[in-house]
């Protein structure tokens, strides 16, 4: 199959699934697709570009809150609110990345951790604008050109967003830009000697993936039709990291496998062990790092090699 | 020599590390297409000189001109853009990438496609990617790693890693290539292949600035040689002049074997000629 035909087939199959699912399962499916979208972006940032950042989930939150605030409080039309929200995230990402990528990698981790915490503080203290601890609710996706996208059709929007993110990152990964990111990750000195502008490459990778997270967050805002601080806390930021590591950092298939496995695992485990799945995640994480640093996808490779 | 003819011109280059004068008031030029040897005992300042030229270190004083343009103090990626590419004394390959991808990173400055045309999978971007890949594969063959083209670089031997670094630097279409002890750690059979490879690079019109400890390897190859000791240039001249230069003999007194070897290497090349 030609690549375009493959993408179309994937879009059709994943979209068709939405129409086969109940409304409860559509909700689960949408969130799964959003986790996959986030994991794909975080995989590029952490796995390909090698940046240890904890802000990815915060940008998801900034996207979600900004679309709601810009649309329902500032009264912007939806397309304009999307552009303005992305612009805001790009500005925040640049403000974090430019000073911290000039320093050693550790400082990016600290700066992004601080940003993630600061975001939660701002949400809680934001008064009427952010709705404080209760967040914002009672809004609905506005109609675009007289059409209101609802039910499985909204799931289709998220399918397209996920596939779009995947295609965009896959293309970048296979280009000079993706190789420059990996080179900076593996040896910044050698990358620079080959003509790679190390600081610029890091800033672009960080800003681009942060903006993609923000767009996913905008889609999320109309999944639950409420945004509130607990969703965007550090717990989910770490879950995202676990997904990418357990799946296999640096490869899209790994990010997808990790996101699907860790998102669905609680549904399987909860009936058995209640809300103790965090413990299972921790054990899996340690097992992955000690036994299979290339994650689930590395395990799959090893099994296939043995079978061959 | 007029500076307009020089590919690289170094004047009064100086670098200190605390109280240590690593490179002191160094002058030399590299002409297009020549192999210039840079030798000296351990700690003489050879790698520091490379790092200063390549932009990895800033000079405390002095001038560096590439094709007449002052480049001292520019960051490394700007030096690479000007056609000066290097290898490292200790292999610095990209461990998470295949051999061919490593070499393609060397061609980084050759790409013209912007991010938008990559994301849009435009024909121009795809054609450029294919052309660079083909050229990288050709270079991998040129250095003798064709069998390992798709291999994970962590599976390469040390000597193969040295060759990979050379192919990677070549991929940037350099005017000048800086090789920091490419022969270190190679077996005798590999040394002969490396010598042929370096002659092949020079034959393509690329100037080679070659740091080497092993005079026996270097002297037959280099058209001219600059000798450093404690950061100071103590001699400069043809291989023959260097072999018999009293200051060089003094500097290498701690290691007379190196000179004996070098003299023998000289005799054998003369015999062959
Ligand atoms: N980054 C640094 N900080 C402090 N001192 C340094 C640094 N780099 C080099 N030096 C010192 O500068 C001097 C010159 O080092 P350099 O690496 O240039 O020598 P070299 O001629 O390449 O030697 P070798 O043959 O051992 O590679 C040495 O005394 C070394 O210890
Ligand atoms: Mg050295």
In 3D, which of A93, A101, A119 has the Cα closest to residue A51?
A101
Q: A47 or A282, which is more confident?
A: A47
Q: Output the pTM of the full model.
A: 0.92
CB of B20 within 6 A of ligand 1: the answer is yes
* pLDDT of the residue at B1: 47
Q: B47 or A3, which is more confident?
A: B47
Q: If you average pLDDT over residues A194-210, what whole number do you get?
A: 96
Chain B CA closest to residue A177 = B115
Ligand nearest to the CA of B22: 1
Is pLDDT at A267 greater than 90 in this prediction?
no
Chain A CA closest to residue B129 = A175
Is pLDDT at A254 greater than 80 in this prediction?
yes
Q: With residue B16 as reference, give the H or E element that holds it.
A: strand B8-17
Interchain CB distance below 8 Å, A171 and B121: yes
Please give the Cα distance from A231 to A233 (Å, whole number): 6
- Ligand 1 center to residue B215 CA distance, Å? 20
Confidence of residue A167 (pLDDT cuts 50, 70, 90): very high
Superfamily of the domain at B92-173: P-loop containing nucleotide triphosphate hydrolases (3.40.50.300)
Chain B CB contacts of A251 below 8 Å: none
* pLDDT of the residue at B253: 57
Ligand nearest to the CA of B40: 1
User: Would you say B55 and B63 are in contact if contact means Cβ atoms under 8 Å apart?
Assistant: no
The closest-lying atom of ligand 1 relative to the alpha carbon of residue B40 is: 21
* pLDDT of the residue at B260: 52
Encode pLDDT of A49-80 as tens digits.
999 999 999 999 999 999 999 999 999 999 99
Which residues does residue B15 pair with via DSSP β-bridges, in sequence order? B23
The dihedral built from the CA positions of residue A208, A209, A214 and A220, taken in this order, carries a sign that is positive
**Nearby residues of A258 by Cβ (< 8 Å), 6 or more positions away:** A39, A242, A243, A244, A245, A246, A247, A248, A295, A296
Encode pLDDT of A10-36 as tens digits.
999 999 999 999 999 999 999 999 999
Is pLDDT at B272 greater than 70 in this prediction?
no
Q: What CATH code would you report for B1-83+175-273?
A: 3.40.50.300
- Ligand 1 center to residue A242 CA distance, Å? 42
Parse chain B into domains and list their residue ranges: 1-83+175-273, 92-173
**Residue of minimum CA distance from atom 5 in ligand 1:** B17
Is pLDDT at A47 greater than 90 in this prediction?
yes
Q: What is the ipTM of this complex?
A: 0.90
User: Would you say A182 and A57 are in contact if contact means Cβ atoms under 8 Å apart?
Assistant: no
Chain A CB contacts of B57 below 8 Å: none
The closest-lying atom of ligand 1 relative to the alpha carbon of residue B18 is: 4
Confidence of residue A107 (pLDDT cuts 50, 70, 90): confident
Interchain CB distance below 8 Å, B125 and A177: no
Q: What is the DSSP letter of B4?
A: G
Question: What's the angle, vertex CA B155, arms to CA B151 and CA B160, rounded to 5?
Answer: 85
Parse chain A into domains and list their residue ranges: 3-230, 233-308
Confidence of residue B261 (pLDDT cuts 50, 70, 90): low
Encode pLDDT of B113-164 as tens digits.
999 999 998 899 999 999 999 999 999 999 999 999 988 899 999 999 999 9
CB count within 10 Å of CB A23 equals: 8
Please give the Cα distance from A249 to A261 (Å, whole number): 14
Shortest Cα distance, chain B CAs vs residue A32, angstroms: 25
A198 at the B interface (CB within 8 A)? yes
Mean pLDDT of the residues in chain B: 90
Q: Is-same-fold flag (B1-83+175-273; B92-173)?
A: yes
Is pLDDT at A218 greater than 90 in this prediction?
yes
Ligand nearest to the CA of B46: 1
Is pLDDT at B216 greater than 90 in this prediction?
no
Mean pLDDT of the residues in chain A: 92
Query: Residue B5: is it exposed, middle or buried by C-beta count within 10 angstroms (0-12/13-18/19+)?
Result: exposed
Q: If you average pLDDT over residues A41-47, what whole number do you get?
A: 97
Token representation of residue B264? 């023998």
Encode pLDDT of B11-64 as tens digits.
999 999 999 999 999 999 999 999 999 999 889 999 999 999 999 999 999 999
User: Would you say A235 and A246 are in contact if contact means Cβ atoms under 8 Å apart?
Assistant: no
- Residue in this structure with the two tokens 């995989």, named with its chain if needed: A43
Q: If you average pLDDT over residues A128-151, what whole number do you get?
A: 87
Of A177, A185, A186, the CB nearest to B118: A177
Interchain CB distance below 8 Å, B119 and A182: no
Confidence of residue A143 (pLDDT cuts 50, 70, 90): confident
Token representation of residue A170? 């896959």
Confidence of residue B245 (pLDDT cuts 50, 70, 90): confident
Is pLDDT at B266 greater than 60 in this prediction?
no
């Amino acid at each position: 199959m030609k690549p375009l035909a493959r993408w179309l087939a994937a879009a059709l199959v994943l979209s068709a699934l939405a129409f086969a699912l109940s409304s409860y399962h559509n909700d689960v499916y949408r969130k799964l697709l959003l986790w996959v979208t986030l994991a794909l972006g975080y995989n590029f940032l952490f796995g390909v570009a090698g940046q240890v950042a904890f802000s990815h989930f915060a940008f998801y939150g900034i996207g979600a809150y900004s679309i709601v605030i810009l649309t329902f409080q500032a009264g912007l039309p939806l397309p304009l609110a999307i552009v303005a929200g992305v612009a805001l995230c790009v500005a925040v990402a640049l403000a974090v990345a430019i000073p911290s990528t000039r320093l050693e990698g550790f400082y990016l981790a600290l700066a992004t951790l601080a940003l993630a915490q600061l975001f939660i503080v701002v949400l809680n203290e934001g008064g009427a604008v952010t709705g404080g601890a209760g967040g914002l609710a009672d809004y609905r996706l506005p109609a675009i050109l007289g059409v209101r996208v609802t039910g499985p059709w909204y799931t289709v929007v998220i399918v397209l967003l996920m596939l779009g993110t995947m295609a965009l990152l896959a293309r970048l990964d296979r280009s000079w830009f993706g190789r420059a990111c990996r080179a900076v990750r593996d040896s910044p000195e050698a990358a620079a000697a080959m003509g790679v502008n190390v600081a610029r490459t890091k800033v672009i990778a960080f800003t681009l993936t942060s903006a993609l997270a923000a767009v996913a967050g905008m889609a999320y805002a109309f999944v639950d039709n409420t945004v509130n601080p607990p969703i965007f806390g550090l717990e989910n930021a770490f879950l995202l990291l676990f997904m990418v590591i357990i799946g296999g950092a640096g490869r899209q298939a790994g990010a997808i496998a990790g996101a699907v496995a860790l998102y669905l695992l609680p549904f399987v485990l909860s009936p058995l062990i209640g809300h103790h799945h965090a413990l299972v995640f921790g054990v899996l994480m340690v097992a992955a790092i000690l036994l299979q640093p290339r994650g689930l996808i590395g395990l799959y490779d090893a099994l296939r090699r043995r079978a061959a | 020599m007029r500076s307009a003819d020089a590919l690289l011109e170094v004047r009064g280059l100086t670098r200190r590390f605390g109280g240590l004068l690593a490179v002191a008031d160094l002058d030399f030029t590299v002409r297009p297409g020549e192999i210039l040897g840079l030798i000296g005992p351990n700690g003489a300042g050879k790698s520091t000189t490379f790092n200063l030229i390549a932009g990895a270190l800033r000079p405390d004083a002095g001038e560096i001109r590439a094709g007449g343009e002052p480049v001292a103090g520019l960051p490394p990626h700007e030096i690479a853009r000007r056609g000066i590419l290097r290898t490292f004394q200790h292999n610095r390959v990209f461990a998470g990438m295949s051999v061919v991808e490593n070499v393609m990173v060397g061609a980084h400055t050759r790409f013209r496609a912007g991010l938008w045309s990559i994301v849009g999978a435009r024909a121009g971007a795809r054609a450029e990617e294919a052309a660079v890949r083909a050229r990288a594969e050709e270079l991998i063959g040129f250095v003798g790693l064709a069998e390992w083209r798709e291999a994970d670089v962590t599976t390469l031997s040390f000597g193969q890693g040295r060759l990979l670094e050379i192919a990677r630097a070549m991929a940037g279409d350099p005017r000048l290539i800086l090789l920091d002890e490419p022969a270190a750690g190679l077996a005798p059979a590999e040394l002969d292949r490396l010598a042929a490879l370096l002659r092949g690079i020079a034959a393509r019109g690329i100037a080679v600035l070659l740091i080497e400890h092993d005079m026996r390897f270097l002297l037959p190859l280099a058209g001219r040689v600059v000798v450093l000791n404690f950061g100071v240039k103590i001699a400069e001249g043809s291989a023959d002049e260097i072999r018999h230069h009293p200051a060089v003999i003094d500097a290498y007194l701690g290691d007379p074997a190196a000179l004996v070897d070098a003299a023998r290497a000289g005799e054998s090349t003369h015999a062959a000629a």
